[in-house]
Structure 1
Amino acid sequence: MSKKRKQYSPQFKAKIAIEAIQGQKTTPEISSQYEIHPTMINTWKRQLLENASELFDKGKRASKAQSDTEAQINELYRQIGQLKVERGFFSQALRTAGSDTRKSLVDAQHHALSVVRQCQLLGVSRSSLYYQPIDPSDEEMTLLKLIDQQYLRTPFYGSRRMKAYLQTQGYTVNRKRVQRLMRQLGLQAIYPKPKLSESHPEHQIYPYLLRGVDIVSVNQVWSTDITYLPIFRGHFYLVAIMDWFSRKVLSWRVSNTMDVYFCLAALEEALNKYPIPEIFNSDQGAQFTAHVFTDCLKQAKVSISMDGRGRCHDNIFIERLWRSVKWELIYLKAFEDGQHLSQEVKSWFHWYNRQRPHQSLGYKTPDEIYYQCDSPM
């Protein structure tokens, strides 16, 4: 039976090779001391000498590889930080966009992002992607029109009184339905109460600057507001910008969604066509507190004023404009679609500015007052 060959560890081989290289002992002495064959000692010594240079080269390569790895990690951290900043920027911009705009950005065929993740990033409900709106019934449209008309006569009516009024007109409705319809119209009973106007929680609210201020010239104060316009099969929203002193409507826009962009378009048109006002007043609605809207005013160096909560008469002039629009146009005609509505609104505002006399203006038109008065310095 053959004797099993003895195995030596790498540490032992290195130790023997180093002693042989030091030259303090002869090869036979090392062989006798450790009971190993001289040939093995010579072999280990040769291998150590031949491979010593590779150890230093390997160290350099390892150092370079470590340096490259650290550079890659630093670059990845830089890219992560940049992506976080960019994501924060786009997230803030998307918050001001309407839900329809955000839903239109969802790509069901995206190869990397699921629909669920896209909805999370865009801040929309996944179920809303599949919702198919149902046209309101004839009864629903009639109720909306009756509520809107009665509100102009009695703006202090809440849902309880409005329900009672509708029941006198022969409609069996409960208070919850009336509340829903009034919310759809954007109507609330006018009387001082807390939280009358809900603003966006992340938008800045500006103070009301017009308390005790005498309005003595054109372009001293502009104001804006949004109202609801019913048509045969649905509704639209109207925003207008008015000069307080002359009551002139400077610009307006009609939209089928109540987002910031149609309000911004009206503001930019007014700022481009007319002298810059000193103060711009609005309510605390999310459209008017949006960053893109207030930034436009700041760039024009306009002081921003916002109605206080529970202050139902802070923007009374434009509220009177809505009453005139509805009683003198909207309730007298049937509109087929948004294009027809926009054409009629354009004609009405043209007539309002140039031909409609105002009792408060000494029976002069808004254009007569606006253009005969000097703008403030």
Structure 2
Amino acid sequence: MSASDAKQKKSRRQRRKFTREFKDGAVKLVLAEGKGIPEVARDLDLTESALRTWVEQAKQARGEGKPGALLQDEREELARLRAENRQLRMERELLKKGGGLLREGDDVKFTFIHAQKAHFPIAFMCEQLEVSRSGYYAWASRPESARKTNDRELAEVVADVHEESRRRYGSPRVFRELRARGYRVSRKRVARLMRKKGLRARARRRFVKTTDSAHGHPVAPNVLERDFSPEQPNSKWAGDITYVWTAEGWLYLAVVLDLFSRKVVGWAMSDTIDRQLVLSALGMALLNRPAPDLYHSDRGSQYASEDYRGLLKQKGITCSMSRKGNCWDNAVVESFFSSLKMELVYERSFQTHEEAKRALFEYIEAWYNRRRRHSALGYVSPEEYERNASTRSAAA
């Protein structure tokens, strides 16, 4: 990278802007989820100093910034609870990975213990799986063939990649991730190792869409006409609303996707499904990006409202809407919602809106945009796809 390129990159980072919702989401990953500042900063492509400032500001606003010390008995109780919590987490994670092994033979259990010894204490796994440590160590000391050794080592990497995806990846994406990391392996071999270890992607469920199109607002024609592959970023955007159930009631999520990279460039969450929800999502998208030529949505009352159409007109954006009852006209956003529900929502039971907001923020900003390998993009993430396109454009 030349000095001018580095200067331009630094300049772009300095001009990056963040909404209050984004800052709150990042802070909650640290304070509510217990993640470290370096980890969250890396996942969200932030500087540690900026995130640390946001966290300190949030603490001060809540009156937690003042120094103080816990009493000795309080510290001991906290340490005890943390130890119990770690034990429970280990038991829960081990149950997810090897809960079906209790009925298997010792060799199968020993193979599992060997594959997971980097993640769990051997004594702990032996106790949970009801095998002796001496039996495991005797099994582990036996010589094995080179092919079996290679399979075992590769299976550990396959399991790690699957776990890093939070068990969202099937063999095609695991295979692509391994190739990206430099492993020379076939897709069939990855599929075989995953079957042997009982690893699979989460099953899809039927996606149900609800749109309030029974309104008196003007409806725009379908200008997009299912052209989901623009040649340039910030040319065509698409948006929609979905819902997530919590014990406190429905939480609604509006998103804006750039159809070039499938990246979520704007989002908003609320317990009210109104025009302000979609206005906030579009506002976030316009904060760091130029206005697109075209914006596509369904015929919902929120998108047909006078305020929303007025904002599009003010920004010089052509309005496009799906035909009545035709979800395929907005298939890219529908596909994103399907992945979101399958990979996150259907696997969790949210007690509060705040808990759901934290999970959705992390999924969109830390996972989907920056890490998830997208099949329509050649199995790279939306963020990487845009970087590669920018590099090609600069070299042309």
Larger Rg: 1
Report the TM-score, using the length of structure 2 for normalisation: 0.45
Report the TM-score, using the length of structure 1 for normalisation: 0.47
